[in-house]
Amino acid sequence: MRKFSIASFSLQTVLKRYMLFGFILLALFIGDSDGQKQQLNVFTWAGYVSGDIREGFEKEFGVSVLVDTYASNEDLLAKLLAGATGYDIIMPSDYMVSILIKQNLLAELHRDTIPNFQNISPLFLGKYYDTENRYSVPYTFGTAGIAYDSAVVSPPPDSWAVLWDKKYKNQFSMLDDQRETLGAALKLLGYSLNTTDAKQVKAAKEKLIAQKPLVKQYKSEAEELLIAGDVVMAHCWSGDAFRATETRPTIRYVIPKEGSSQFIDAVCIPKSAPHKELAEQFINYLLRPEVNAKITTFTKYGTCVPTAKEYLPEHLREHKFIYPTKEVLESLEWLKDPGDFTRHYNRAWEEIKAK
């Protein structure tokens, strides 16, 4: 009897040990070394990663996804240069991808972990900012322009000049984004968004300082102001203007006749990312047609995955907010890295904000 109970006690102990060992292996497999569920930290623009995309990935991969947001590419850069190390996924725009590559802040992507890379249209690959897409995959594309409430703003604007019209004092917002907002003033003055002429940047700065008493707020999440009815007009990105129309159908979007910016926002992995492989799996997940369609459905920006269109509602497939006419397209410029000249843009922006 005594012998038997010793034997069964040892058997139980051995079984328990095996089970414990199994749990540890499982924890190591799905979690970090401290046994916690892995957490994918995403640093992106507001309104860019929906709850269903996040939850879909969490469920399938048994991890958690945390989303933090920034208002401009320069905010993202400042954070990374200040040594932020926790981010696994970031979504810089085109010109900022080239700056981050130059600063050695991005990790190279392993294409074998991202087989859905093949779903991307060649139209969005091999761009000037990362010619072989070694560090970036395109997430969405769009433009900057003016969103306005057609029930209030009359006549319909067609020029950046409307944002200097005293009639709209305190009723409009400007993007809290130095390249875009200086860009709007540069375009109004007939200059390039990428000028490296200090006199032109100074003229744009003075124009924005003169405008400042009219501006209700500098805000990159302009759709929030439009939806709340806090402004009747906003310097805004196309998808955000589009999103605002869901609540306020009288909102329209125009790309001013002087021209504006177009962009591709990309998905990248910082060199310092703690969960690089998981981040690549996330990128691969985003490139599934059905998931990619959810990005457009939520953000109202264009998809770079043609097969995603099959999963899009009809009205989102070729909408004019997403696809400007050929004539408008020709008036658009890509923002580019002005190299050392950036300090002129930085200083001009600081002076405008300090006024």
Report the interface residues with ligand SPD, using CB under 6 A. 45-48, 93, 180, 237, 240, 261, 263, 265, 335
The residue (of 41 and 93) whose beta carbon lies closer to ligand SPD is: 93
Q: How far apart are CB 14 and ligand SPD at their closest, in Å?
A: 56
d(CA 119, CA 121): 7
CB of 88 to ligand SPD, least distance (A): 19
Q: How many CB atoms lie within 10 A of CB 227?
A: 16
Cα separation, 235 vs 210, in Å, equals 16
In the bound complex, what is the minimum distance in angstroms from residue 152's beta carbon to ligand SPD? Answer: 23
Amino acid at 28: L
Q: Are 272 and 85 in contact (CB under 8 A)?
A: yes
Nearer to ligand SPD, 145 or 157 (CB): 145
Minimum Å gap between C-beta 265 and ligand SPD is: 5
What is the smallest separation between the CB atom of 172 and ligand SPD, expressed in angstroms? 18
Residue number with CB closer to ligand SPD (105 or 335): 335
Asked whether the bond before 256 is cis by omega within 30 degrees of 0, the reply is no
Nearer to ligand SPD, 45 or 349 (CB): 45
Residue whose C-beta lies closest to ligand SPD: 45
What are the φ and ψ backbone dihedral angles of 353, each rounded to 5 degrees?
Answer: -70, -30
Q: How many residues does the chain have?
A: 355
Shortest reach from residue 69's CB to ligand SPD, in Å: 9
What is the closest distance, in whole angstroms, from the C-beta atom of residue 286 to ligand SPD in the complex? 15
DSSP letter assigned to residue 38 = P
Render 61-81 in DSSP notation, one character per residue: HT-EEEEEEESSHHHHHHHHH
Complex with ligand SPD: residue 130 or 240, whichever CB lies closer: 240
Contact 97, 129 (CB under 8 A): yes
> For residues 176 and 280, which CB has a smaller minimum distance to ligand SPD in the complex?
176
Between 54 and 111, CB nearer to ligand SPD: 54
Give how far Cα 140 sits from Cα of 69, 163, 251, 323, Å. Answer: 16, 27, 22, 12
The sign of the CA dihedral 169, 242, 334, 342 is positive
Hey, what amino acid is at 80? L
Q: What is the distance between the alpha carbons of residues 251 and 224, in angstroms, rounded to a whole number?
A: 13
The two three-digit tokens of residue 21, written as one number: 């060992």
